[in-house]
């Protein structure tokens, strides 16, 4: 009997993100402990059978994105906002007067 046939050889191209894989955002929510209920169960089930997402979740938990890397709009300091509003009013006034 040839033992080689019983070995689990990963197929080339197998270790990659698949269409059924949860998004990076879902994995991030999972590693950040903010998933619950069905969403949490779904990700857990998927991680049990997907090497790629397990590696990705592992990476995300070890290197979570820093807040300044997020695409959330920056908060404008109040003084700058007031200045900008005043400046816009001035501009509108000059344009109307012209």
Sites of contact with Zn ion (CB under 5 A) = 21, 50, 52-53
Q: How far is the CB of 23 from Zn ion (least distance, A)?
A: 10
**C-alpha–C-alpha distance, residues 58 and 42, integer Å:** 17
**CB nearer Zn ion, residue 23 or residue 66:** 23
- We find the least distance from the C-beta atom of residue 86 to Zn ion, in angstroms, to be 52
Indicate the residue among 45 and 91 with the shorter CB distance to Zn ion. Answer: 45
Based on CB atoms, which residue is closest to Zn ion, 29 or 53?
53
Cβ atoms of 74 and 50 within 8 Å: the answer is: no
For residue 39, how many C-alpha atoms fall within 13 Å in the half-sphere facing its CB? 13
Q: Calculate ∠ Cα 72-66-69, nearest 5°.
A: 45
In the complex, minimum distance from the CB of residue 72 to Zn ion, in angstroms, rounded to a whole number: 26
**Length of the chain, please?**
98
């Amino acid at each position: 009997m040839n033992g080689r046939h019983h070995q689990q050889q990963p197929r080339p191209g197998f270790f990659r993100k698949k269409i059924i894989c949860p998004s990076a955002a879902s994995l991030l929510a999972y590693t950040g402990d903010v998933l619950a209920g069905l969403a949490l169960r779904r990700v857990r089930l998927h991680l049990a059978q997907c090497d790629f997402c397990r590696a990705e979740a592992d990476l995300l938990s070890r290197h979570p994105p820093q807040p300044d890397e997020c695409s959330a709009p920056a908060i404008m300091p109040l003084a700058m906002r007031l200045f900008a509003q005043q400046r816009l009013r001035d501009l509108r006034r000059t344009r109307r007067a012209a």
